[in-house]
Amino acid sequence: MTEKELKKIGEIIHYFDKISVAVVKVISSFKIGDKIKIKGATTDFEQKVKEMQIEHKSIDKTSKGQKIGLKVTDVVRPNDSVYVK
């Protein structure tokens, strides 16, 4: 699948490397269980959404405009794009 075939749902704005959590600015809602792809200049991997939080409280789904913490399986960088598969 090319990026044009994927729906962009967010953008990475920060990454906490010690706990493998990305801060994502949400532009389109997604939920626990969705398969996502994170792509950037040197980033390119897929994972299932297993855990996300707002202000240290677990959430099941997101809404446009939120900034959420997302547990990631690989290193991400600011400005990487998040797509739903």
Q: Write the pLDDT tens digit of every residue in 44-53.
A: 999 999 999 9
The number of folded domains in the chain is: 1
Any idea what the CATH number is for the domain that residue 15 is in?
2.40.30.10
* Neighbouring residues of 18: CB distance < 8 A, sequence distance ≥ 6: none
CA distance 15 to 1: 26
Q: Write the pLDDT tens digit of every residue in 43-81.
A: 999 999 999 999 999 999 999 999 999 999 999 999 999
- Residue 52 structural domain: 3-84
What is the pTM assigned to this prediction? 0.93
CA distance 12 to 39: 10
